[in-house]
């Protein structure tokens, strides 16, 4: 290849990247803003009675996005980590997201506005990288996969809500995209940051390693040392555990604190067998509680079912990743609460779904419409202070 040919190829790639970015952002930004608008509407129509930190600006759309666990992230960003045995403590929440919030507050910005900004920017970046990743694996179904993720019923937690889901999605997708682009060192760095964001680090480490080896084998080549580099993503988790060991003499404090009163889901058979879920759901349950816990249980089952075609259509690396990223919280949760939101991290499932419905346009359209309607309803509920996910 001549120098001019190489230059033309790189120019074409850059133009393609710019085109993908424009296509994604033109669609993602309105979806994100619509979700925020609906959450704001919920906050105005049904003013929540939840406790609100005193420094939250008295603005409806900001209040709508500062809900539930947002308080923990704000606490960490301001006061750092502490641990009181037998009590709920911030060590349950991984450090990268609150660190970013704290960094933005150094500019003189209110911590809640900082959190909203970080979440929204991460969401837009994540959807852009997801589009590039999906297009890398499927030239025909990447747009459908984008819409499935952008309109996913729990995706309102990406759009400005002070939660770490958008950041993790950005880093997880970025690490796998870097791997697909033959950049294993960048993949390991992004993977390590992802492991410092959410307690599903084994899914990232194992998924990247298996996919790296799988790609080499698909080429018919022998495994090389470079193929093992993505496993260094585990350093993100190890660094967090080292901090916990040094500071609190408990490297697994983030897991042990789950048994504190109010959370009450310690590791053990009671959580693994979902005893609490069955006790709540049967023989009689409040309608809204039943819809919430039943919906999360259904989302978990459907996600696990989709893992099987993911192995077949996207390969072992993505199959293992989705199995672990869904399986870890599914096993540890006492009642499936939040599992619908955790499924966002299982981003390959959205491409798998797109591939499954590619020859069924009516089903595809119906699925997207149902997703959009539920997303809107849950955004309103979240803004009203509902314990959605």
Q: Is residue 188 part of a domain?
A: no
Q: Is residue 242 part of a domain?
A: no
Asked whether residue 273 falls in the same domain as residue 142, the answer is no
- Alpha-carbon distance 344 to 336, whole Å? 15
Asked whether residue 81 falls in the same domain as residue 124, the answer is yes
Asked whether residue 371 falls in the same domain as residue 328, the answer is no
Q: Into how many domains does the chain fold? A: 2
Contact criterion met (CB below 8 Å) for 199 and 95: no
Q: Residues near 332 by Cβ (< 8 Å), separated by ≥ 6?
A: 258, 265, 267, 271, 272
Q: Is residue 96 part of a domain?
A: yes
Asked whether residue 22 falls in the same domain as residue 119, the answer is yes
Percent of the chain beyond pLDDT 90? Answer: 85
Q: Is residue 43 part of a domain?
A: yes
Q: Which of 255, 152, 267 is nearest to 200 (CA)?
A: 255
Asked whether residue 148 falls in the same domain as residue 40, the answer is yes
**Using 50, 70 and 90 to split pLDDT, how confident is the model at 9?**
very low
Asked whether residue 375 falls in the same domain as residue 348, the answer is no
Higher pLDDT, 239 or 47: 239
User: Mean per-residue pLDDT for 182-192?
Assistant: 98
Asked whether residue 274 falls in the same domain as residue 341, the answer is yes
Q: Is residue 176 part of a domain?
A: no
Asked whether residue 304 falls in the same domain as residue 365, the answer is no
pTM above 0.75, yes or no: yes
Taking CA atoms, 351 is separated from 26, 134, 177, 236, in Å, by 20, 7, 14, 27
User: Mean per-residue pLDDT for 48-58?
Assistant: 84
Count of CA atoms in the C-beta half-sphere (13 A) of 47: 4
User: Mean per-residue pLDDT for 308-320?
Assistant: 98
Percent of the chain beyond pLDDT 70? Answer: 95
Residue 356 DSSP label: H
- Alpha-carbon distance 15 to 206, whole Å? 34
Asked whether residue 275 falls in the same domain as residue 325, the answer is yes
Q: Is residue 151 part of a domain?
A: yes
CB atoms within 10 A of CB 185: 12
Asked whether residue 150 falls in the same domain as residue 112, the answer is yes
Q: Residues near 78 by Cβ (< 8 Å), separated by ≥ 6?
A: 102, 105, 111
Asked whether residue 258 falls in the same domain as residue 380, the answer is no
Q: Which of 89, 59, 57 is nearest to 75 (CA)?
A: 89
**Using 50, 70 and 90 to split pLDDT, how confident is the model at 6?**
very low
Q: Is residue 87 part of a domain?
A: yes
In terms of C-beta density within 10 A (0-12 exposed, 13-18 middle, 19 or more buried), how is residue 182 classed?
exposed
Q: What's the whole-number average pLDDT of the chain?
A: 93
Q: Is residue 203 part of a domain?
A: no
Q: Which domain holds residue 150?
A: 17-163+361-389
Asked whether residue 348 falls in the same domain as residue 271, the answer is yes
> Residue 381: pLDDT above 50?
yes
Instruction: Please give the full DSSP string across 162-218, using - where no structure is assigned.
Output: SSSHHHHHHHHHHHHHHHHTT-HHHHHHHHHHHHTTSS-HHHHHHHHHHHHHHHHHH
Higher pLDDT, 2 or 239: 239
For residue 226, what are its two tokens? 């470079």
Least confident of 219-233, 252-266, 275-289, 365-379: 252-266
In terms of C-beta density within 10 A (0-12 exposed, 13-18 middle, 19 or more buried), how is residue 107 classed?
exposed
């Amino acid at each position: 290849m001549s120098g001019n040919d190489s230059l033309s190829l790189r120019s074409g790639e850059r133009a393609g990247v710019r085109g993908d970015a424009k296509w994604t952002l033109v669609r993602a930004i309105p979806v994100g803003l619509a979700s925020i608008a609906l959450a704001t509407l919920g906050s105005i129509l049904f003013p929540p009675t939840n406790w609100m930190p005193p420094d939250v600006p008295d603005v409806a759309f900001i209040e709508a996005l500062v809900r539930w666990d947002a308080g923990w992230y704000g606490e960490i960003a301001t006061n750092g980590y502490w641990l009181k045995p037998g009590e709920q403590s911030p060590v349950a929440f991984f450090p990268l997201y609150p660190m970013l919030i704290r960094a933005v507050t150094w500019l003189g910005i209110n911590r809640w506005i900082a959190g909203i900004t970080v979440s929204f920017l991460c969401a837009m970046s994540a959807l852009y990288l997801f589009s590039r990743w999906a297009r890398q694996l499927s030239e025909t179904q990447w747009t459908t996969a984008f819409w499935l993720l952008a309109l996913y019923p729990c995706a309102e937690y990406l759009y400005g809500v002070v939660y770490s889901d958008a950041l993790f999605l950005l880093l997880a997708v970025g690490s796998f995209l870097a791997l697909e682009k033959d950049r294993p060192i960048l993949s390991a760095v992004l993977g390590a940051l992802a492991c410092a964001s959410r307690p599903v680090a084994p899914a990232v480490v194992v998924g990247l390693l298996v996919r790296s080896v799988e790609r080499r084998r698909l080429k018919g080549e022998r495994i090389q040392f470079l193929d093992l580099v993505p496993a260094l993503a585990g350093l993100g988790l190890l660094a967090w555990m080292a901090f916990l060991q040094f500071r609190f003499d408990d490297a697994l404090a983030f897991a042990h604190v789950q048994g504190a009163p109010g959370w009450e889901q310690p590791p053990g058979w009671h959580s693994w067998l979902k005893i609490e879920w069955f006790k709540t759901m049967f023989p009689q349950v409040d309608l809204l509680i039943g819809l919430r816990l039943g919906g999360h249980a259904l989302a978990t089952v459907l996600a696990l079912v989709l893992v099987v075609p993911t192995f077949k259509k996207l390969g072992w690396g993505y199959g293992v990743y989705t199995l672990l990223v869904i399986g870890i919280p599914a096993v540890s949760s006492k009642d499936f609460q939040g599992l619908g939101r955790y499924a966002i991290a299982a981003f390959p499932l959205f491409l798998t779904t797109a591939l499954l419905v590619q020859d069924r346009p009516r089903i595809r359209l119906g699925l997207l419409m149902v997703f959009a309607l539920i997303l809107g309803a849950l955004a309103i509920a979240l803004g009203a202070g509902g314990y959605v996910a």
